[in-house]
Structure 1
Amino acid sequence: MSDNRNQQPGQQFQLELKPEVASGVYSNLALISHSHSDFIVDFARILPGMPKPEVCSRVILAPEHAKRLLAALQDNIIKYEKEFGPIAIPQAPQMEAGPRTIAPFGNGEA
């Protein structure tokens, strides 16, 4: 991984995308947890006939980068909805009391 500490804000850089990564990984469920120093996002998929969700990718982020990811997602959702219309999120049935960190098909709110 290259050292980008010397880059100025807004500066462009080259990103290498290897062929085995370029096709991406399908995920329809995310489990997000955190510690004092990291945010962990487990991307998983659950498909008909599968007995349990299968984690297909884990991303570990520093808190600062997690917040930057949040801002980038918000910005891109705004742009998407301007171009294609609002993203409809079906209401998920109310879960038992307690925080919710798994977001399959729902709105992902805790």
Structure 2
Amino acid sequence: MENENNEQQGLQIDLRPEVAKGVYANLALITHSSSDFVLDFATMLPGMPKPEVGARVVMAPEHAKRLLQALQENVHNYEQQFGKIVIPEQQSRMAAPFKMPETES
């Protein structure tokens, strides 16, 4: 795993200016098949008739799991540096921004 991290740190990528500005998203819709995960990142704002997808990412299941692990690690690091991220209680609605899966107590 250490070699993999070293290779990633030395990775050089091209970042076009139109991509570098990013896309704001407060809603993620995730679907999957046996061979792909599809992540649609959308913006849902007051006054908009419906959420607008700003970016779609399609990846293999192995890469989706690696993304999950990387996000978990980065959220942990963020909370170590800046404090716990608090998710306020949300009213039940059809399309909750970044709705978290319910866990069994």
TM-score by length of 1: 0.80
User: Which runs of 5 or more structure 1 residues have no equivalent in the other structure?
Assistant: 1-7
Give a deviation string over 1:53-109, Cα, whole Å, max 9, x none. Answer: 0111100010000000000000000010011110010122346xxxx8x551x5421
List, as ranges, runs of 4+ consecutive aligned residues in structure 1 with deviation greater than 4 Å.
Answer: none
TM-score by length of 2: 0.83
User: Which runs of 5 or more structure 2 residues have no equivalent in the other structure?
Assistant: none
Structure with greater helix percent: 2
Give a deviation string over 1:29-66, Cα, whole Å, max 9, x none. Answer: 00001000000000000111001101111000100000
Residue pair 1:44, 1:57 contacting (<8 A) in 2 also: yes
Q: Write the distance in 2 (CA, Å) between the matches of 1:108 and 1:33.
A: 15
1:9 aligned residue? 4
Give me the CA root mean square deviation.
1.8
1:84 aligned residue? 82
Report the identity percentage: 57
Alignment: residue pair count? 97
Q: Write the distance in 2 (CA, Å) between the matches of 1:46 and 1:30.
A: 10
